């Protein structure tokens, strides 16, 4: 290979390398700045294919998507000086690339560190001006909205960062306070349980006493009704006997004597000592039932 051909190849390689170093691509999810000897010459490079001066211009590319910063749980005091452990996170993205690069040197970790300090200060101020009920449930959304708005104004002006949202994941009591709170809650629940048991026992005694009273009343009414019905039955039976006797007194006397004979003489081994001319054998001595005279055998 001649020196001319070798030189041509070297020149072509140099042109290719220079072309590769001169072109760069910015994706839709990225933002970039162009630096020339450390000075920003293009503060906001749009997505697409771009050219630069090779070996002189330097391109710094940053992620323009919404990023999440998960903060470390911090201890804050409310307006009543009650301590809370708050775990939160922040959604943010780059709004002004030049300010972002100038303030953080394009270091995402440094930006997150500065932003975390701002969020910590903002949460401390918000919690310190509100009661426990307000920050936990009552005005929680209002606290987050107000803090997001204030932080956005500050970070856009100083860091080129826009805070999209701040949310609280969890609010806990400090460990040293949690135990005493749990003990107090348990004591309160035990007291309520005792009151409920006592009230239930009182109601049970009342129900039992009322049931006993109703049982006594029902039994008394039943006994009264049974005695009345029995009396009416006896009266009706006596009336029936009386009417039957009046219709044929002779037959009625005969029938009652037969019943008496059956009940008295129907059992084996029974022994009865009685005079033959007694009134008991009246119908045996005479079918008409006429009473015998005292001297008749």
Give CA–CA dist 144/135, Å, rounded: 9
User: Mean pLDDT throughout 54-69?
Assistant: 84
* Structure confidence at residue 226 (pLDDT): 93
Q: List CB contacts of 81: < 8 A, sequence separation 6 or more.
A: none
CATH number at residue 163: 3.30.479.30
Query: Where in the sequence is the domain holding 40, given as residue range(s)?
Result: 16-63
42-51, 80-89, 264-273: which is most confident: 80-89
Closest CA to 97 of 30, 48, 152: 30
Q: What is the DSSP string of 149-215?
A: HHHHHHHHHHTSEEEEEEEEEEEE--HHHHHHHHHHHHHHHHHHHHHHHHHHHHHHHHHHHHHHHHH
Domain boundary among 63, 79, 94: 63
> pLDDT at position 216, please?
92
Strands 161-172 and 83-94: antiparallel
Are 84 and 158 found together in one domain? yes
Furthest C-alpha separation in the chain: 188
pLDDT tens digit string along 225-272? Answer: 999 999 999 898 888 878 877 777 777 777 777 777 777 766 666 666
Domain-located, residue 32: yes
Residues 168 and 71 in one domain: yes
User: Is 148 within the bounds of a domain?
Assistant: yes
The CA distance from 201 to 279, in Å, is 71
Distance CA 170, CA 172 (A): 6
Once rounded to an integer, what is the mean pLDDT over residues 26-33?
84
Are 73 and 42 in the same domain? no
**Total number of domains in the chain:** 2
Residue-wise pLDDT for 250-260, tens only, equals 777 777 777 77
SS3 of 220-246: the string is HHHHHHHHHHHHHHHHHHHHHHHHHHH
Q: Is position 154 within any domain?
A: yes
Within this chain, do residues 49 and 79 fall inside the same structural domain, yes or no? no
Q: Look at residue 130 and tell me if it is in a domain.
A: yes
Look at residues 172, 197, 232 and tell me which one is the last residue of a structural domain: 172
- Coil, strand, or helix at residue 61? strand
Please tell me the predicted confidence (pLDDT) of residue 269. Answer: 67
Write down the residue that tokens 């084996």 correspond to: 268
108 shares a domain with 134: yes
Residue 3 has pLDDT above 60, yes or no: yes
Residue 162: closest CA among 113, 117, 111? 111
Per residue in 122-162, pLDDT (tens digit) is 888 888 888 877 777 767 777 788 888 888 888 888 888 88
* Shared-domain flag, residues 75 and 153: yes
Does residue 73 register a pLDDT over 90? no
Q: In the prediction, which pLDDT does 281 show? A: 67
Residue 224 belongs to some domain of the structure = no
Q: Are residues 26 and 72 in the same domain?
A: no
Cα 94 from Cα 65, distance rounded (Å): 8
Read off the pLDDT of each residue in 165-178 and give the average, rounded to a whole number.
79
Looking at 113, 138, 172, which one is the last position of a domain? 172
pLDDT of residue 207: 93
- The pTM is what? 0.52
Specify whether 82 is located in the same domain as 142: yes
- Is residue 205 one of the residues assigned to a domain? no
Residue 161 shares a structural domain with residue 99: yes
Specify if 49 maps to a domain: yes
- Residues 83 and 149 occupy one common structural domain: yes
**According to the model, what pLDDT value does residue 217 have?**
94
Nearest one of 147, 154, 148, 153 to 127, comparing CA atoms: 147
> What is the pLDDT, as a whole number, of residue 295?
41
Q: Is 10 among the domain residues?
A: no
Task: Say yes or no: 35 and 112 in one domain.
Answer: no
143 & 91 share domain: yes
């Amino acid at each position: 290979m001649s020196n001319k051909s070798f030189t041509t190849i070297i020149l072509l390689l140099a042109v290719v390398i220079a072309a590769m170093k001169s072109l760069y691509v910015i994706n839709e999810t990225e933002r970039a700045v162009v630096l020339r000897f450390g000075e920003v010459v293009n503060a906001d490079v749009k997505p697409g294919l771009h050219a630069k001066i090779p070996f002189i211009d330097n391109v710094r590319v940053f992620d323009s998507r919404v990023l999440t910063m998960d903060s470390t749980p911090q201890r804050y005091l409310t307006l009543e000086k009650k301590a809370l452990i708050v775990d939160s996170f922040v959604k943010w993205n780059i709004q002004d690339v030049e300010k972002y690069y100038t303030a953080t040197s394009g270091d995402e970790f440094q930006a997150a560190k500065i932003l975390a300090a701002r969020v910590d200060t903002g949460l401390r101020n918000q919690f310190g001006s509100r009661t426990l009920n307000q920050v936990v449930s009552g005005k929680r959304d209002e606290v987050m909205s107000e803090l997001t708005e204030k932080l956005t104004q500050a970070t856009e002006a100083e860091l080129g960062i826009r805070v999209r949202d701040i949310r609280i994941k969890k609010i806990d009591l400090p460990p040293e306070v949690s135990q005493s709170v749990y003990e107090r809650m348990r004591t309160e629940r035990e007291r309520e349980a005792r009151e409920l048991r006592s009230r239930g026992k009182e109601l049970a005694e009342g129900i039992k006493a009322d049931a006993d009273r109703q049982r006594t009343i029902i039994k008394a009414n039943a006994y009264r009704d049974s005695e009345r019905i029995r009396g009416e039955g006896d009266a009706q039976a006596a009336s029936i006997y009386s009417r039957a006797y009046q219709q044929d007194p002779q037959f009625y006397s005969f029938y009652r004597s037969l019943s008496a004979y059956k009940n008295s003489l129907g059992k084996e081994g029974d022994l009865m000592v009685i005079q033959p001319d007694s009134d008991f054998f009246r119908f045996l001595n005479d079918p008409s039932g006429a009473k015998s005279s005292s001297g008749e055998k």
